[in-house]
Amino acid sequence: MTEEAKSSLGTFIMQNGLVLGEMYEPSTPGQTADVKDTSAQNNIGGVKTKCVSWIDNDNLAFKIYYVGSTAQNTLLGDIYDRHFDTWTVVLPPTFGPTPGGISFNFSGQIAKCKLNVDGDGPAFIEMEVTVNGRFSDPVTTWAAGLTTTFFTVVDNDSNALTPVPAAATAVYEYDLESYSDTTYIKITPTAAVGTIYVDGTIVVSGAASGNLTTAVGSGKVTYVSIAVTEANKTPKIYWIRVVGGLTAHP
């Protein structure tokens, strides 16, 4: 039995637990094995024999839109450090029989990092990452994610802001209306287990994040991510879309 094909829209890339952004035009790494001739004079029938030896991984290639997040700005200089990082490709929550919880992990170094700003279209980062060792089998178990009270948000004037829909562990996208002159928000996440990242920075459960800068003005949009990770499990990633409302602070 099989299931109907699903869109990969909403596939995210993470570096050491940090959400870098949504991948587009990804090229997942293929594998090519060296083939060695093992023929000998006494081969029956004079037919050559072969065996495979070293396996060569292609690079993981992808693009992400550049939004100026802390994680992305750090990424632009990481190629000079030549660090081996843990990378995670997280498929959309609709994938899998549960559904959701599908991800792939591997160790690799940044081989290409190019910020493209053409003065017309959106800015984006063009990336290639080496795959050192095996590209993992699918990880199919969810991290627990956020737990009650999930998360709360206040603005720079300590006003509580209410997400829509109401926060829940299996709701991954939210809209949040702020005052038109809001300059930053703070998010207080709650998770019983795992490590929480808010906009790429570790935040302790029940503690407020740092100031998360928002675009000022009616209709201005800022995206903020919350990720909850656990060892050997697929991270749960939540997005909050902060939109400047029509009204300024009273």
* DSSP, residue by residue, 5-31: ----TT-EEEETTEEEEEEEEEEPPPE
Q: What is the pLDDT of residue 95?
A: 81
Four-residue CA torsion sign, 185, 65, 142, 231 = negative
**pLDDT for the residue 79:** 92
The lowest-confidence range among 2-11, 15-24, 28-37, 135-144 is: 2-11
Instruction: State mean pLDDT over 141-149.
Output: 93
Strands (E), 146-232: 151-155, 160-161, 173-178, 184-189, 195-198, 201-203, 212-213, 221-229
Burial pattern 102-139, b for ≥16 Cβ within 10 A else e, equals: bbbbbbbbbeebeeeeeeeeeebbebbbbbeeebbeeb
CB 16 within 8 A of CB 81: no
Q: 53-81 in b/e burial notation, b at 16+ Cβ within 10 A?
A: eeeebebbbbbbebbebebbeebeeebee
Mean pLDDT of 164-186: 93
Q: What is the pLDDT of residues 94-137, one digit of tens each?
A: 887 666 789 999 999 999 999 999 888 899 999 999 999 888 88
Q: 3-state SS of the chain: helix, strand, coil percent to 5? A: 5, 45, 50
Segment 45-104, tens digit of pLDDT: 778 888 999 999 999 999 999 887 777 888 888 999 999 999 999 998 888 766 678 999
Per-residue pLDDT tens for 197-211? 998 889 999 999 999
Instruction: Name the β-bridge partners of 229.
Output: 195
Partner residues linked to 197 by β-bridges: 202, 227
For the cut 80, the answer to whether the pLDDT of residue 3 exceeds it is no
pTM: 0.85
Phi–psi pair at 141, nearest 5 degrees: -115, 125
**DSSP single-letter state for residue 194:** S
